[in-house]
Chains A and B, each alone.
Chain A
Amino acid sequence: MTEALDQIFVTLKHWLVSLCPAEFQVLASIVLSVAPILMVFPGLFALVTVIERKGLGRIQNRYGPNRVGPFGFLQFVADGIKALIKEDVVPRRADKVIHFLAPLALVLPCVVVYAVLPFGRNMTLTELDAGLLFFFAVGASTELAVFMAGWSSRNKYSLFGAMRAIAQMISYEIPLILSAVSVVMIAGSLSLPKIVAAQGTYGGWLPDWFVFTPWGLAGFLLFMIAASAESNRAPFDLPEGESEIIAGYYIEYSGFKFALFFLGEYLGLFAISGLAITLFLGGWNAPLESLAWIPSWAWFFTKLIALILLFIWTRGTLPRLRQDQLMNFAWKFMLPLTLINLVAAALWHYIPAGFTRWFMCGLMVVGPYCLLGRGIAGKDKTSKRVYRFAD
């Protein structure tokens, strides 16, 4: 029964494929594997926009959307219809072809990366030998789309936004990849299903997820920070800083093209959260052995929604960084920490299990964090801000 529920989508797909005539079975198998991804994640996007607006409203002490449907939960339908029927304004001096291609070039990689994510047991679209490399390679090509959008609009603000976005994405890509490399070193594989399998055992009272090791915890935190910068989320949403450059690289987009940018941004966020789950949070594994009867795909999506809520919470809580703070943080803080974390992961591999291993690796993670943090904070000589008129 548990087994059947766990594999329900896989069996369903095989049954549907077997109904097709023999010459179409390969095609049907491909379509039936791709179609759920194309339905589920944009659906999740619609849901998350509502949750995000409601949640931000709650954090900021206001109502948020509350008119369409019960508690405003059908707001995304209204937004979708509005985006579809709005006029598509293209600036007269814009580079029409590239202006048209940019949203597509942004959404396409964001969808393609889902090909390697394991959503559940036996639920990976393509089990690539170098799945992690595929994810990063395809994810890196969104930078070009951002540039296309910013440049083709012939608007200095959109070009500023594109420059900021590219600088930020390139800077934070290094800590992102390096923090994932520590997982690759321990798991010994670039294939995402194998990385999940390496975390599938239960020892003691904690599952063997990489996040429950000193280097894994540090790696997870660094990965999440870099991921929120990579997907241009607050507090790293300088590329669209509306107080300075209006909306960044998509100022000159309206109607459905704007919705595509929005979709691409959220699909990228879901994908990178899915990767964080796969690398550090045990993928589709249950946290306790006694909870393993709950289907694997349910665990994946529970963790995914938890991470998305974390992102929404961060967005509602932290103020936006300044450009120089952003760069300093990436190069002077994140990069050294990820490099030291690599050494900590190597130590973890070679020291036999026990207290010494925990102590050594924990020291290697906490020590540099404190020293670097103090070092950077001490140089700036910050003092308490005085509000002379507000008191």
Chain B
Amino acid sequence: MPLTFTIIAIVTIACAVAALSLRNLVHCALALSGTFVGLAGVYLQLGAQFVGLAQVLVYVGAVSILVVFAILLTRNDQSTDALFSKATFASIGVTVAVLGVLIWAIVKSPAVKKTLPPAPAPSVKSIGDSLMTNCVLPLEVMALLLTAALIGAVIIAMQNQSKTKMEDGESKMDKPSEPSSILHPPSSQGGSK
């Protein structure tokens, strides 16, 4: 067990460091998804199957694709800044301060001194049961939120579409132009249409 944990930990941390220090943004995004996989490995090793698999499904399958697409669609330049600048050192200071405060707060908090209750058998069935009984209200709220987001995305996309329609004068977005060479053979005067 410790051997697998060591391997997973080394890979995860190496990917995280790479995600911070690589200069090419796409490389960073890919290294970040490596970190997600490593985290999922840690969850699986701890016996939290559902969390681990949801981590892979959501973060590796969807979020990293989203990140990569966002990078591709927004910026094309590859920044050539030096790895270390004044801002880097300043941010290291801020990070260390925040981390210190967090660690201090965690160590001081009474939650640490509580003894852990015996770990329940984390089966997927029990998670599903509690999602459908105890936690049904949060689940429904989440579902409502996601549906609203989905409809909102569709409405935003539709507004863009109608705008382009008006600009173009005809509905090019609905239907791509038919392959003219097949349906309308060139007329005898030369030139198609």
Contact = CB atoms under 8 A, between A and B. Distances in A.
Interface of A: 95, 98, 128-130, 133-134, 136-138, 140-141, 143-144, 147-148, 151, 166, 170, 173, 189-190, 322, 324, 380, 385-386, 388-389
Given A128-B49, A130-B124, A144 B30 contact: yes
24 contacts: A95-B24, A130-B50, A133-B50, A133-B54, A134-B53, A137-B53, A137-B57, A137-B61, A140-B56, A140-B62, A141-B56, A144-B30, A144-B60, A144-B61, A144-B64, A148-B30, A151-B68, A151-B72, A166-B69, A190-B124, A322-B176, A385-B182, A388-B185, A389-B185
Contacts of A388: 185
Given A138-B56, A389-B185, 19 more contacts: A95-B27, A129-B123, A133-B54, A133-B124, A137-B53, A137-B54, A140-B56, A140-B57, A141-B37, A141-B60, A141-B61, A143-B65, A144-B33, A144-B61, A144-B68, A151-B72, A170-B62, A324-B175, A386-B183
B38 to A, nearest CB: 13
Contacts of A129: 49, 123-125
B63 to A, nearest CB: 11
A143 B125 contact: no
B124 A137 contact: no
B124 A324 contact: no
Interface of B: 24, 26-27, 30, 33, 37, 49-50, 53-54, 56-57, 60-62, 64-65, 68-69, 72, 123-125, 175-176, 182-183, 185
Contacts of A166: 65, 69
A165 to B, nearest CB: 11
Contacts of B49: 128-130, 133-134
A215 B57 CA distance: 26
Contact of B27 (A98, A144, A189, A389): A98
Given A128-B49, A148-B30, A140 B61 contact: yes
Contacts of B123: 129
Contacts of A137: 53-54, 56-57, 60-61
Contacts of A389: 185
Contacts of A144: 30, 33, 60-61, 64-65, 68
Contacts of B56: 137-138, 140-141
Nearest to B183: A385
B65 A147 contact: yes
Contacts of A170: 62, 65
Contacts of B37: 141
A47 B72 CA distance: 40
A189 B26 CA distance: 39
A121 B183 CA distance: 57
A317 B139 CA distance: 45
Contacts of A173: 61
Nearest to A380: B175
B26 A151 contact: yes
